[in-house]
Amino acid sequence: MEDQKLPCVLIDCIGEKHGVYEEHVEFLKEHFCLITMKEYIENKKILGKKIRAIYMWYHKPVINEELLQSLPNLKIVASSGVGIDHLDLNLLSRYGVKVSNTPFIVSTDTADLGMALMLASSRRLVEGYQMAVSPDTEYFPANWLGDEVSGATLGIIGMGTIGYKVAERAKAFEMKILYHNRKQRNKEEENAVGAIYCKKIDDLLRQSDFVMLAVNLTPQTHKLIGKRELQLMKPTATLINISRGLVVEQDDLVEALQNKVIKAAALDVTYPEPLPRDHPLLKMENVLITPHIGSATKKTRHLMMENMTESIQAALTSLPIPHEVLL
Protein backbone atom coordinates (compact mmCIF):
# COMPACT_ATOMS: atom_id res chain seq x y z
CA MET A 1 0.00 0.00 0.00
CA GLU A 2 1.48 3.36 -1.00
CA ASP A 3 0.11 6.30 -2.93
CA GLN A 4 -3.26 7.11 -1.38
CA LYS A 5 -4.21 9.43 -4.29
CA LEU A 6 -4.50 6.45 -6.63
CA PRO A 7 -7.59 4.23 -6.61
CA CYS A 8 -7.31 1.39 -4.11
CA VAL A 9 -7.23 -2.08 -5.60
CA LEU A 10 -7.32 -5.28 -3.58
CA ILE A 11 -4.89 -8.04 -4.52
CA ASP A 12 -4.24 -11.33 -2.77
CA CYS A 13 -0.51 -10.97 -2.19
CA ILE A 14 2.70 -10.17 -4.04
CA GLY A 15 5.06 -12.90 -5.14
CA GLU A 16 4.87 -16.03 -3.02
CA LYS A 17 3.40 -19.06 -4.74
CA HIS A 18 0.22 -17.66 -6.21
CA GLY A 19 0.61 -13.89 -5.80
CA VAL A 20 0.87 -11.05 -8.28
CA TYR A 21 4.26 -11.27 -9.99
CA GLU A 22 6.91 -8.96 -8.56
CA GLU A 23 7.69 -7.75 -12.10
CA HIS A 24 4.05 -6.66 -12.62
CA VAL A 25 3.85 -4.74 -9.37
CA GLU A 26 5.90 -1.79 -10.58
CA PHE A 27 3.51 -1.24 -13.50
CA LEU A 28 0.43 -1.71 -11.34
CA LYS A 29 1.68 0.73 -8.74
CA GLU A 30 1.84 3.48 -11.35
CA HIS A 31 -1.93 3.23 -11.63
CA PHE A 32 -3.25 1.88 -8.36
CA CYS A 33 -2.69 1.85 -4.66
CA LEU A 34 -2.36 -1.90 -4.10
CA ILE A 35 -3.76 -3.34 -0.91
CA THR A 36 -2.93 -6.94 -0.08
CA MET A 37 -5.45 -9.21 1.63
CA LYS A 38 -3.23 -9.21 4.70
CA GLU A 39 -3.28 -5.40 4.87
CA TYR A 40 -7.01 -5.34 4.31
CA ILE A 41 -7.69 -7.91 7.06
CA GLU A 42 -5.58 -5.93 9.51
CA ASN A 43 -7.46 -2.70 8.78
CA LYS A 44 -10.84 -3.74 7.38
CA LYS A 45 -12.86 -0.76 8.61
CA ILE A 46 -10.80 1.94 6.90
CA LEU A 47 -9.57 0.04 3.84
CA GLY A 48 -12.90 -1.70 3.13
CA LYS A 49 -14.44 1.65 2.17
CA LYS A 50 -11.49 2.67 0.01
CA ILE A 51 -11.22 -0.46 -2.14
CA ARG A 52 -12.78 0.12 -5.57
CA ALA A 53 -11.56 -2.88 -7.53
CA ILE A 54 -10.32 -6.42 -7.04
CA TYR A 55 -7.42 -7.55 -9.19
CA MET A 56 -8.11 -11.28 -9.19
CA TRP A 57 -4.93 -13.00 -10.24
CA TYR A 58 -5.49 -16.66 -10.85
CA HIS A 59 -8.62 -16.98 -8.75
CA LYS A 60 -7.18 -15.15 -5.76
CA PRO A 61 -8.38 -13.54 -3.56
CA VAL A 62 -11.43 -15.75 -3.14
CA ILE A 63 -14.57 -13.63 -3.29
CA ASN A 64 -17.53 -14.46 -1.08
CA GLU A 65 -20.53 -12.57 0.21
CA GLU A 66 -18.77 -11.58 3.42
CA LEU A 67 -16.01 -9.87 1.46
CA LEU A 68 -18.49 -8.12 -0.82
CA GLN A 69 -20.44 -6.82 2.16
CA SER A 70 -17.34 -5.20 3.54
CA LEU A 71 -16.38 -3.46 0.27
CA PRO A 72 -19.23 -0.96 -0.28
CA ASN A 73 -17.40 0.95 -3.03
CA LEU A 74 -16.30 -2.03 -5.08
CA LYS A 75 -16.95 -1.44 -8.79
CA ILE A 76 -15.20 -4.26 -10.62
CA VAL A 77 -13.55 -7.63 -10.31
CA ALA A 78 -10.91 -7.94 -13.03
CA SER A 79 -10.21 -11.64 -13.38
CA SER A 80 -7.15 -13.02 -15.16
CA GLY A 81 -7.55 -15.64 -17.87
CA VAL A 82 -10.61 -16.57 -19.84
CA GLY A 83 -12.51 -19.03 -17.59
CA ILE A 84 -14.93 -17.43 -15.14
CA ASP A 85 -16.23 -20.63 -13.55
CA HIS A 86 -14.62 -19.60 -10.26
CA LEU A 87 -16.87 -16.53 -9.99
CA ASP A 88 -20.47 -16.28 -8.82
CA LEU A 89 -21.73 -13.80 -11.41
CA ASN A 90 -25.21 -13.61 -9.89
CA LEU A 91 -23.81 -12.71 -6.50
CA LEU A 92 -21.51 -10.05 -7.97
CA SER A 93 -24.34 -8.59 -9.99
CA ARG A 94 -26.51 -8.35 -6.86
CA TYR A 95 -23.78 -6.18 -5.36
CA GLY A 96 -23.61 -4.10 -8.55
CA VAL A 97 -20.06 -5.26 -9.23
CA LYS A 98 -18.90 -5.60 -12.83
CA VAL A 99 -16.63 -8.41 -14.01
CA SER A 100 -13.98 -8.57 -16.72
CA ASN A 101 -11.71 -11.34 -17.97
CA THR A 102 -8.87 -11.54 -20.49
CA PRO A 103 -10.05 -13.70 -23.40
CA PHE A 104 -8.24 -13.96 -26.78
CA ILE A 105 -4.90 -13.09 -25.16
CA VAL A 106 -4.61 -16.64 -23.80
CA SER A 107 -5.70 -18.48 -26.94
CA THR A 108 -2.41 -18.82 -28.80
CA ASP A 109 -0.49 -20.14 -25.82
CA THR A 110 -3.24 -22.51 -24.81
CA ALA A 111 -3.47 -23.89 -28.34
CA ASP A 112 0.31 -24.29 -28.40
CA LEU A 113 0.12 -26.24 -25.16
CA GLY A 114 -2.61 -28.46 -26.61
CA MET A 115 -0.27 -29.34 -29.47
CA ALA A 116 2.62 -29.85 -27.07
CA LEU A 117 0.56 -32.27 -24.99
CA MET A 118 -0.56 -34.17 -28.07
CA LEU A 119 2.98 -34.48 -29.41
CA ALA A 120 4.57 -35.26 -26.04
CA SER A 121 2.02 -37.91 -25.22
CA SER A 122 2.01 -39.63 -28.62
CA ARG A 123 5.81 -39.60 -28.98
CA ARG A 124 6.27 -40.50 -25.29
CA LEU A 125 8.63 -37.61 -24.61
CA VAL A 126 8.61 -37.88 -20.82
CA GLU A 127 9.35 -41.63 -20.84
CA GLY A 128 11.92 -41.06 -23.58
CA TYR A 129 13.68 -38.40 -21.54
CA GLN A 130 13.74 -40.67 -18.50
CA MET A 131 15.25 -43.46 -20.57
CA ALA A 132 17.82 -41.16 -22.15
CA VAL A 133 19.11 -39.85 -18.81
CA SER A 134 18.69 -42.97 -16.65
CA PRO A 135 21.96 -44.36 -15.22
CA ASP A 136 20.56 -47.86 -15.94
CA THR A 137 20.22 -47.29 -19.68
CA GLU A 138 22.77 -49.31 -21.67
CA TYR A 139 21.23 -49.07 -25.12
CA PHE A 140 18.28 -47.37 -26.77
CA PRO A 141 15.75 -50.07 -27.72
CA ALA A 142 14.75 -49.95 -31.39
CA ASN A 143 11.29 -51.26 -30.59
CA TRP A 144 10.37 -48.41 -28.28
CA LEU A 145 7.66 -46.78 -30.35
CA GLY A 146 5.12 -44.02 -30.21
CA ASP A 147 2.27 -43.03 -32.50
CA GLU A 148 2.12 -40.50 -35.31
CA VAL A 149 0.48 -37.14 -34.94
CA SER A 150 0.94 -36.04 -38.57
CA GLY A 151 -1.83 -37.48 -40.65
CA ALA A 152 -3.88 -38.68 -37.64
CA THR A 153 -7.44 -37.56 -36.91
CA LEU A 154 -7.96 -34.86 -34.31
CA GLY A 155 -11.41 -34.22 -32.84
CA ILE A 156 -11.77 -30.79 -31.27
CA ILE A 157 -14.65 -30.36 -28.84
CA GLY A 158 -15.32 -26.64 -28.49
CA MET A 159 -14.36 -24.58 -31.56
CA GLY A 160 -14.01 -21.22 -29.82
CA THR A 161 -10.93 -19.06 -30.21
CA ILE A 162 -8.67 -21.66 -28.60
CA GLY A 163 -10.19 -24.60 -30.49
CA TYR A 164 -9.79 -22.74 -33.76
CA LYS A 165 -6.14 -21.99 -33.07
CA VAL A 166 -5.60 -25.67 -32.33
CA ALA A 167 -7.19 -26.45 -35.70
CA GLU A 168 -4.87 -23.99 -37.47
CA ARG A 169 -1.88 -25.73 -35.93
CA ALA A 170 -3.25 -29.20 -36.64
CA LYS A 171 -3.69 -28.25 -40.30
CA ALA A 172 0.05 -27.62 -40.52
CA PHE A 173 0.53 -31.15 -39.16
CA GLU A 174 -1.63 -32.46 -42.01
CA MET A 175 -4.15 -33.84 -39.56
CA LYS A 176 -7.72 -34.69 -40.43
CA ILE A 177 -9.71 -32.27 -38.27
CA LEU A 178 -13.17 -32.96 -36.89
CA TYR A 179 -14.96 -30.64 -34.55
CA HIS A 180 -18.07 -30.37 -32.47
CA ASN A 181 -19.52 -27.12 -31.23
CA ARG A 182 -22.71 -26.33 -29.43
CA LYS A 183 -22.89 -22.87 -30.94
CA GLN A 184 -23.54 -22.14 -34.59
CA ARG A 185 -21.12 -23.32 -37.21
CA ASN A 186 -18.80 -20.82 -38.81
CA LYS A 187 -18.41 -22.20 -42.32
CA GLU A 188 -15.75 -19.68 -43.32
CA GLU A 189 -13.50 -20.69 -40.41
CA GLU A 190 -14.29 -24.34 -41.05
CA ASN A 191 -13.15 -24.07 -44.66
CA ALA A 192 -10.03 -22.09 -43.77
CA VAL A 193 -8.68 -24.95 -41.67
CA GLY A 194 -10.39 -27.77 -43.54
CA ALA A 195 -12.31 -28.89 -40.44
CA ILE A 196 -15.29 -31.23 -40.66
CA TYR A 197 -18.25 -30.46 -38.45
CA CYS A 198 -19.72 -33.33 -36.43
CA LYS A 199 -23.24 -32.50 -35.36
CA LYS A 200 -23.15 -35.42 -32.95
CA ILE A 201 -20.32 -35.54 -30.46
CA ASP A 202 -20.50 -39.35 -30.65
CA ASP A 203 -19.40 -39.31 -34.30
CA LEU A 204 -16.34 -37.26 -33.39
CA LEU A 205 -15.49 -39.55 -30.48
CA ARG A 206 -15.75 -42.69 -32.61
CA GLN A 207 -13.45 -41.43 -35.38
CA SER A 208 -10.72 -39.46 -33.60
CA ASP A 209 -7.20 -40.60 -32.74
CA PHE A 210 -6.89 -37.56 -30.47
CA VAL A 211 -9.83 -35.88 -28.77
CA MET A 212 -9.02 -32.39 -27.54
CA LEU A 213 -11.29 -30.61 -25.07
CA ALA A 214 -11.33 -26.83 -25.52
CA VAL A 215 -14.75 -25.90 -24.15
CA ASN A 216 -15.57 -23.48 -21.35
CA LEU A 217 -16.80 -25.08 -18.16
CA THR A 218 -20.54 -24.38 -17.96
CA PRO A 219 -23.49 -26.39 -16.62
CA GLN A 220 -23.79 -27.87 -20.15
CA THR A 221 -20.17 -29.01 -20.35
CA HIS A 222 -19.82 -30.16 -16.72
CA LYS A 223 -18.68 -33.81 -16.89
CA LEU A 224 -19.37 -33.86 -20.61
CA ILE A 225 -16.96 -36.76 -21.04
CA GLY A 226 -17.80 -39.76 -18.88
CA LYS A 227 -17.89 -43.54 -19.13
CA ARG A 228 -20.26 -43.63 -22.12
CA GLU A 229 -18.21 -41.14 -24.14
CA LEU A 230 -14.90 -42.81 -23.27
CA GLN A 231 -16.29 -46.14 -24.41
CA LEU A 232 -17.14 -44.61 -27.77
CA MET A 233 -13.51 -43.58 -28.31
CA LYS A 234 -11.03 -45.82 -30.11
CA PRO A 235 -8.93 -48.03 -27.80
CA THR A 236 -5.93 -46.40 -29.52
CA ALA A 237 -7.14 -42.85 -28.85
CA THR A 238 -5.79 -40.18 -26.52
CA LEU A 239 -7.86 -37.65 -24.58
CA ILE A 240 -6.29 -34.19 -24.24
CA ASN A 241 -7.81 -31.66 -21.87
CA ILE A 242 -6.83 -27.98 -22.04
CA SER A 243 -10.13 -26.63 -20.70
CA ARG A 244 -11.20 -27.49 -17.14
CA GLY A 245 -10.85 -30.70 -15.16
CA LEU A 246 -14.56 -30.82 -14.42
CA VAL A 247 -15.40 -31.27 -18.09
CA VAL A 248 -14.35 -34.89 -17.57
CA GLU A 249 -15.79 -37.38 -15.08
CA GLN A 250 -12.36 -38.10 -13.66
CA ASP A 251 -13.13 -41.42 -11.95
CA ASP A 252 -14.48 -42.74 -15.26
CA LEU A 253 -11.29 -41.56 -16.96
CA VAL A 254 -9.14 -43.41 -14.44
CA GLU A 255 -11.16 -46.57 -15.01
CA ALA A 256 -11.00 -46.19 -18.80
CA LEU A 257 -7.21 -45.79 -18.69
CA GLN A 258 -6.75 -48.69 -16.29
CA ASN A 259 -8.91 -50.97 -18.45
CA LYS A 260 -7.35 -49.77 -21.72
CA VAL A 261 -10.69 -48.46 -22.98
CA ILE A 262 -8.59 -45.60 -24.35
CA LYS A 263 -4.85 -45.51 -24.84
CA ALA A 264 -3.73 -42.39 -23.00
CA ALA A 265 -4.59 -39.00 -21.56
CA ALA A 266 -2.71 -35.70 -21.57
CA LEU A 267 -4.16 -33.27 -19.07
CA ASP A 268 -3.30 -29.66 -18.30
CA VAL A 269 -6.30 -29.53 -15.98
CA THR A 270 -7.72 -31.86 -13.35
CA TYR A 271 -9.87 -31.58 -10.27
CA PRO A 272 -8.74 -30.72 -7.76
CA GLU A 273 -5.53 -28.94 -8.74
CA PRO A 274 -3.08 -30.20 -7.83
CA LEU A 275 -4.33 -33.77 -7.48
CA PRO A 276 -3.70 -35.49 -4.15
CA ARG A 277 -0.21 -36.98 -4.35
CA ASP A 278 -1.55 -40.54 -4.19
CA HIS A 279 -4.09 -40.07 -7.00
CA PRO A 280 -4.08 -42.91 -9.55
CA LEU A 281 -3.69 -40.49 -12.49
CA LEU A 282 -0.27 -39.54 -11.15
CA LYS A 283 0.96 -43.12 -11.28
CA MET A 284 -0.01 -44.14 -14.79
CA GLU A 285 2.55 -44.36 -17.55
CA ASN A 286 -0.09 -43.50 -20.14
CA VAL A 287 -0.98 -40.20 -18.47
CA LEU A 288 0.86 -36.94 -18.98
CA ILE A 289 -0.05 -34.12 -16.61
CA THR A 290 1.00 -30.48 -16.59
CA PRO A 291 0.17 -27.96 -13.84
CA HIS A 292 -2.50 -25.84 -15.60
CA ILE A 293 -0.06 -23.85 -17.70
CA GLY A 294 -2.15 -23.09 -20.81
CA SER A 295 -1.42 -19.37 -20.68
CA ALA A 296 1.79 -19.51 -18.69
CA THR A 297 4.21 -17.55 -20.83
CA LYS A 298 5.86 -14.29 -19.84
CA LYS A 299 4.38 -12.34 -22.73
CA THR A 300 0.82 -13.52 -22.26
CA ARG A 301 0.80 -13.04 -18.52
CA HIS A 302 2.13 -9.50 -19.03
CA LEU A 303 -0.59 -8.73 -21.58
CA MET A 304 -3.18 -10.06 -19.16
CA MET A 305 -1.96 -7.74 -16.45
CA GLU A 306 -2.15 -4.75 -18.83
CA ASN A 307 -5.60 -5.80 -19.95
CA MET A 308 -6.84 -6.11 -16.36
CA THR A 309 -5.43 -2.66 -15.61
CA GLU A 310 -7.37 -1.21 -18.55
CA SER A 311 -10.58 -2.87 -17.40
CA ILE A 312 -10.24 -1.49 -13.87
CA GLN A 313 -9.45 2.00 -15.16
CA ALA A 314 -12.47 1.89 -17.49
CA ALA A 315 -14.81 0.72 -14.74
CA LEU A 316 -13.60 3.42 -12.37
CA THR A 317 -14.13 6.15 -14.93
CA SER A 318 -17.45 4.75 -16.17
CA LEU A 319 -16.10 3.96 -19.64
CA PRO A 320 -16.98 0.76 -21.52
CA ILE A 321 -15.02 -2.09 -19.96
CA PRO A 322 -12.85 -4.08 -22.37
CA HIS A 323 -13.98 -7.71 -22.12
CA GLU A 324 -16.72 -7.16 -19.62
CA VAL A 325 -18.28 -10.48 -18.68
CA LEU A 326 -22.04 -10.11 -18.88
CA LEU A 327 -24.49 -12.27 -16.96
| Sequence-distant (≥ 6) Cβ neighbours of residue 283 within 8 angstroms | none
212 is a contact residue toward ligand O=CC(=O)O (CB under 6 A):
no
Binding piece for ligand O=CC(=O)O, criterion CB under 6 A, among 11-19, 42-50, 79-87, 170-178: 79-87
Distance in Å, CB of 290 to ligand O=CC(=O)O, minimum: 12
Binding piece for ligand O=CC(=O)O, criterion CB under 6 A, among 32-40, 64-72, 78-86, 164-172: 78-86
One-letter amino acid for residue 189 of the chain: E
- Residues in region 17-36 near ligand O=CC(=O)O by CB under 6 A: none
294 is a contact residue toward ligand O=CC(=O)O (CB under 6 A):
yes
Instruction: State which of residues 61, 83, 155, 163 lies at the interface with ligand O=CC(=O)O (CB under 6 A).
Output: 83
| Sequence-distant (≥ 6) Cβ neighbours of residue 23 within 8 angstroms | none
106 is a contact residue toward ligand O=CC(=O)O (CB under 6 A):
yes
Residues tagged active-site: 244, 273, 292
Helix 298-316, helix 22-31: angle, nearest 10: 20
Q: In degrees rounded to 5, what are phi and psi of residue 57?
A: -95, 115
Rounded to 5°, the CA angle 95-101-104 comes to 160
Tell me the per-residue interface mask from 29 to 68 with ligand O=CC(=O)O, x by CB under 6 A, - otherwise.
----------------------------------------
Q: Which of residues 116 and 205 has its CB atom nearest to ligand O=CC(=O)O in the complex? A: 116
Q: Which of residues 82 and 205 has its CB atom nearest to ligand O=CC(=O)O in the complex? A: 82
Instruction: State which of residues 53, 68, 77, 82 lies at the interface with ligand O=CC(=O)O (CB under 6 A).
Output: 82
Q: Which of residues 62 and 192 has its CB atom nearest to ligand O=CC(=O)O in the complex? A: 62
| Sequence-distant (≥ 6) Cβ neighbours of residue 195 within 8 angstroms | 156, 159, 167, 177, 178, 179, 189
Indicate the residue whose CB is closest to ligand O=CC(=O)O.
81
Distance, in Å, from the CA atom of 318 to the CA atom of 324, rounded to the nearest integer, reads 12
Distance in Å, CB of 295 to ligand O=CC(=O)O, minimum: 5
295 is a contact residue toward ligand O=CC(=O)O (CB under 6 A):
yes
Q: What is the binding site for ligand O=CC(=O)O (CB under 6 A)?
A: 81-83, 106, 294-295
